Amino acid sequence: MCHVYLSVLGMDWLLLEKGIWFGFAALGFAILFNVPGRTLVIIWLLAAMGGLTKIIFLNYGVNVILSSFAGASLIGFASIPMAHYKHTPPLIFSIPALIPMVPGAFAYRTMLGLMNLTVIPTNESYSQILNETVSNGFKTLFIVMTLAVGASIPMLVTRKSSAKQLRIKVKKP
């Protein structure tokens, strides 16, 4: 049954599996940043959710920058109720959960491209390397920007300065 839903969404299990790895990647950074122990499980969940959102959007052919923005803002909004639940500022959840989405691949290719550009051009591939490097560089820049905006979007939209003043109301049935 589950498989039917997945095929309707146009995904396979490989995509879902990536959510697990997004979670573990975030967990590594959470431990590195010495977060309080009570937040670890939630960071894993948030990172998996955000990463899956990004992958699902990418799978539908959405631009990588917008997909990252969708994932990041999901993490941003989800971190507010979690902050109330665990009595800790939302950035403790959002920053480790966002870091697996930092475009390491694009940054790596940008740096490699820049290094290649220092070689004296001898053939036509120089302009191709230049094109790719500029494209990768701007992708890196814009994705990191969208991550930061996504994390702070609940505060910006509600015009509050602290998450303590911000209660997301849940209607009880």
Binding site for other proteins (CB under 8 A): 18, 21-36, 39, 87-89, 91-92, 95-96, 98-100, 102, 104-105, 107-108, 111-112, 114-115, 144-145, 147-149, 151-152, 156, 161-162, 164
Q: State the nearest-atom distance from the C-beta of 12 to other proteins, in Å.
A: 14
In the complex, the smallest distance separating the C-beta of residue 162 from other proteins, rounded to whole angstroms, is 6
- CB 52 to other proteins: min, Å: 12
Q: How far apart are CA 37 and CA 102, in angstroms?
A: 24
C-beta closer to other proteins: residue 34 or 122: 34
Q: How far is the CB of 153 from other proteins (least distance, A)?
A: 10
Cα 114 to its chain centre, rounded Å, is 25
Nearest to other proteins of 86, 126 (CB atom):
86
Q: Which is nearer to other proteins, 35 or 74 (CB)?
A: 35
CA-based torsion, 39, 44, 49, 54: positive or negative:
positive
Alpha-carbon gap, residue 153 to 147, rounded angstroms: 10
127 Cβ contact list (under 8 Å, min separation 6): none
Q: Which is nearer to other proteins, 6 or 112 (CB)?
A: 112
> Which residues, 6 or more positions from 119, have their beta carbon under 8 angstroms from its beta carbon?
none
- Amino acid identity at 132: E
Residue 99: CB minimum distance to other proteins, A: 4
Query: Which of 2, 14 has the CB closer to other proteins?
Result: 14
Residues whose CB falls within 8 Å of the CB of residue 26, separated by 6 or more in sequence, listed in order: 43, 44, 46, 47, 96, 97, 99, 100
